[in-house]
Amino acid sequence: MRRVGDKRCRVTSSEPSTMPLERQTEAVLKTRKEVRSMRLPEICDMDIEAAEAQWGFPLDQERRAVLRCMDTVDIRACPGSGKTTLLVTKLGILASKWKYKHRGVCVLSHTNAAQREIERRFSQVPSLRALTAYPHFVGTIQSFLHQFMSIPAAIERFGTRPGVVENEYYEIEAKKEFFQGTRRKGPYATAWNAIANWIKRNPNVTIADYISREIEYKDENLTLPPLGLKNRPVGWDSPTGKQLRQFKKRMSQQGIFRYQDMAALAGWYLKKHPMIADLLQERFLMVFFDEMQDTIVEQGCLLDALFPERSVVQRFGDNRQAIYHSTADNMTGAHFPRGTVLPMKKSFRLSPSIARLSQCVCADSPPEELVGDTRKADRRHTVLVFKRDRIQEVLPDFCRLVACEIRTGLSETQVKAVGANSKAKEEANKFPSAISDYWPSFVPRYQRAQARLTCLSAHLDQAKTGMITTRSTGKGRTLLLDACARMLRLQGITDRSRPLSPSTMVRQLRDKCPAEYRRLNTLLAITCQTLLRGGKPNLGEFAEEARAALGHFNAESWNPHVDQFICNTRGEANVQQALQNQSLANDNVFRYQCEAGPVSVKVDTIHSVKGETLCAVLVLETIFYEHDLKALIDKGYLKGQLRNANPLRRLAEHLKRIYVAMTRPTDLLCLAVLDEHIKNGDLQALERLGWAIKEIL
């Protein structure tokens, strides 16, 4: 068994987020005398063979090396390598051998989706359920930093526990705080006029935008951003600066923060109490990261400071798939991978031909070999070359290829057409600019969500779309509960001075007023069923019944802010326009009737399919400063002419996005390229590499 460090403690069951730091330190000093060393379980061949039989997951030498390794290491896993399954397999073996009551394993992921996938796997194996409780931790990086650092920092610095941490909620509350009184006599009148002067030349920014998005803590010193114009800066000691500082202080004292504020508070807490790193290393003997390549630079640096030496840190990821802005890899290229690296080159998702074609767009230099699964059949992967006036024939042609190469009747969740850009541009030289050029009925997610928080009507519309799309009432109930909690927050109802969240609202109602709790549930059930059948409830009747069900929280008359939330329909027109084709639930599914049968294609962005395994994918050429597929053809990548030098940042971003898109399918891969972007010899080079060419004339 492997020995971990020589500084050990036995931490009490209180979490660091609620236990005073002095008591934590005292506990560490006492227990280090009792526990001199601890050993991590060893994973042997017998454990691996038992896991292989249990999961039905082939464990070759690469994967066995990852399972056996009990040292700090980075695991660079190719698309479809089963890294999450391998991580869960390793956690399952560790959980069955874990003997420590006050020392645990920490499992962190970048996104909620990755966390939910890990938890879903946990639910399938009884031994893994132990990892969801103390002394272990499973969650997102953000939730980890909030619990152990940002929340105690807010309590210590501002005397309040953060309530709802959400940028959109912050914007609503910031406007309520700032726009008190009038522009001449309000508490922030000087700042109001100054900001109006700063932004007058920028029609896309309002005063509300400025105060709700720009005034945030930037670093571990809780520094606020520069004020004024570049050529006319304004100091924080000026009358305007003092008012804005007071505004931010008021928001903080109410427990209302932006995500960036919480990140800065975490850094502030670590700077003031550096021993928190010792405490967390004492608590967590092993730390696992999933999708490490997507971790924000600031979070990565903070985590490095928290787990510098004694904890065993194993990070799973693939820097070739780092497509989110401001990730460590995009910013510096140094955070992942680093140090000792274990590769996982074999993909169980990709056929050999898709692996070979996809390897051409790796951002590596030289590219690491990508090995496909020889059990999978190779198909006619096709480049669809279209003329301007034939662009709307691209999706029908792709449907016919799917019907021919695979079959008809596949679920829309298995066949997708994806592009990098969802925002259309008008200039002729930027055609095709966005996904909607291929299918005008496509509605970007930002349009569907833009009015979500403006009014009750928008909540109902979003609930309706979500339920029809998912064919369940879960999404609708969540949105309706959010609307009810929003009414209470606008009324000024809090939970011990913290903003009232939907879950707290439901819990308090259930525990203290069962009759009103049943009344609210009845209202939600009836409303969800009405929406699911395509109907639209009466806003006034819903609001009246909701107010009655929420009477426990508010016995007084409801204020004008709540009335405006209920009656405001300014956002409704935008929502209705964005949610056109309601009969099809506007789920962005293109449906086509081939001779052999129906084919449905989900149309979405490349970012939306990251982490998915699909049957067939069509990659649509769009523009991000330049046309992505054109750039990769011109530079030789898509033609198999790999470069030795590392690509510049913008080209590297194209490569990573297209690499993510091309490595989703198990069976069929297609590209759509405008014919004007094809030069002499390009088609022949693509064919020599293994692409089939289909011209849409």
CATH of the domain at 81: 3.40.50.300
| Predicted confidence band of residue 339 (pLDDT cuts 50, 70, 90) | confident
In the numeric block, which tokens belong to residue 691?
Answer: 């692409």
Asked if 280 and 148 touch (Cβ cutoff 8 Å), the reply is: yes
Asked if 691 and 382 touch (Cβ cutoff 8 Å), the reply is: yes
Lowest mean pLDDT among 199-213, 410-424, 540-554: 199-213
Give counts: helices (H), strands (E), the chain. Answer: 28, 21
* pLDDT exceeds cutoff 70 at 135: yes
323 shares its domain with 282: yes
In the numeric block, which tokens belong to residue 629?
Answer: 């597929």
Query: How high is the pLDDT of residue 148?
Result: 94
Query: How high is the pLDDT of residue 504?
Result: 80
* pLDDT exceeds cutoff 90 at 417: yes
Which of 542, 571, 600 marks a domain boundary?
A: 571
Phi and psi, residue 135, nearest 5°: -95, 15
In the numeric block, which tokens belong to residue 611?
Answer: 């982490």
Residue that wins the pLDDT comparison between 517 and 643: 517
Residue matched to tokens 């690491």? 368
Q: Is residue 1 part of a domain?
A: no
Secondary structure class of 219 (helix, strand, coil)? coil
Range 545-570 average pLDDT = 81
Asked if 480 and 542 touch (Cβ cutoff 8 Å), the reply is: no
232 shares its domain with 289: no
Phi and psi, residue 424, nearest 5°: -70, 150
Q: Is residue 276 part of a domain?
A: yes
Query: How high is the pLDDT of residue 645?
Result: 56
Helix H or strand E encompassing 342: strand 341-344
Q: How do residues 84-134 score in pLDDT, each as one tens digit?
A: 889 989 998 998 889 888 899 999 987 766 667 777 777 667 778 788 888
Lowest mean pLDDT among 43-47, 272-276, 324-328: 324-328
Size of the chain in residues? 697
pTM of the predicted model, to two decimals? 0.73
In the numeric block, which tokens belong to residue 32?
Answer: 């280090």
Q: Tell me the C-alpha to C-alpha distance, in Å, between residue 243 and each of 35, 235, 250, 437.
A: 53, 11, 10, 47
Provide the 8-state DSSP code for 604: E
Cα 440 to Cα 396: distance, rounded to the nearest angstrom: 14
566 shares its domain with 455: yes
454 shares its domain with 567: yes
134 shares its domain with 62: yes
Q: Is residue 577 part of a domain?
A: no
What's the domain range around 121?
Answer: 41-148+268-344
Please state whether 545 falls in left (phi above 0), alpha (psi between -120 and 50) or beta.
Answer: alpha
| Predicted confidence band of residue 557 (pLDDT cuts 50, 70, 90) | confident
Query: How high is the pLDDT of residue 450?
Result: 43
Cα 98 to Cα 460: distance, rounded to the nearest angstrom: 47
Q: Is residue 28 part of a domain?
A: no
618 shares its domain with 544: no
Helix H or strand E encompassing 66: helix 61-68
457 shares its domain with 565: yes
Cα 91 to Cα 158: distance, rounded to the nearest angstrom: 38
Q: Please, which residues have CB within 8 angstroms of residue 224's CB and are 6 or more apart in sequence? A: 215, 216, 217, 218, 236, 244, 245, 248
Q: How far is CA 412 from the centre of its chain?
A: 22
Range 669-685 average pLDDT = 94
649 shares its domain with 593: yes
* pLDDT exceeds cutoff 80 at 328: no
Query: How high is the pLDDT of residue 329?
Result: 41
**% of the chain exceeding 90 in pLDDT:** 41
Which of 522, 540, 571 marks a domain boundary?
A: 571
Which of 511, 537, 571 marks a domain boundary?
A: 571
Cα 470 to Cα 479: distance, rounded to the nearest angstrom: 14
* pLDDT exceeds cutoff 70 at 17: no
Rg (CA), the chain: 27
593 shares its domain with 688: yes
**% of the chain exceeding 70 in pLDDT:** 84
643 shares its domain with 685: yes
> Quick one: angle between helices 275-283 and 259-272, nearest 10?
100
| Predicted confidence band of residue 264 (pLDDT cuts 50, 70, 90) | very high
| Predicted confidence band of residue 37 (pLDDT cuts 50, 70, 90) | low
567 shares its domain with 618: no
Query: How high is the pLDDT of residue 689?
Result: 93
In the numeric block, which tokens belong to residue 366?
Answer: 């030289």
Helix spans in 141-231 (H): 141-145, 151-158, 167-178, 189-198, 207-213
Q: Is residue 153 part of a domain?
A: no
What's the CATH code of the domain at 622? 3.40.50
Cα 342 to Cα 72: distance, rounded to the nearest angstrom: 11
Cα 317 to Cα 176: distance, rounded to the nearest angstrom: 42
Q: Is residue 576 part of a domain?
A: no
Query: How high is the pLDDT of residue 61?
Result: 92
Question: Residue 296 pairs with which residues in a beta bridge?
Answer: 327
Highest mean pLDDT among 110-114, 123-127, 313-317, 465-469: 313-317
Query: How high is the pLDDT of residue 662?
Result: 96
Query: How high is the pLDDT of residue 661?
Result: 96
Q: How do residues 163-212 score in pLDDT, each as one tens digit?
A: 778 887 888 888 888 988 666 788 899 999 999 889 887 777 888 889 98
Q: Is residue 263 part of a domain?
A: no
Residue that wins the pLDDT comparison between 284 and 18: 284
142 shares its domain with 285: yes
Nearest to 671 by CA among 657, 651, 653: 657
Cα 125 to Cα 325: distance, rounded to the nearest angstrom: 35
For the chain, the domain total comes to 4
CA atoms within 13 A on the CB side of 82: 25
* pLDDT exceeds cutoff 70 at 333: no
* pLDDT exceeds cutoff 70 at 409: yes
Q: Is residue 15 part of a domain?
A: no
Residue that wins the pLDDT comparison between 650 and 272: 272
Range 534-548 average pLDDT = 86
* pLDDT exceeds cutoff 60 at 325: no
Phi and psi, residue 385, nearest 5°: -105, 120
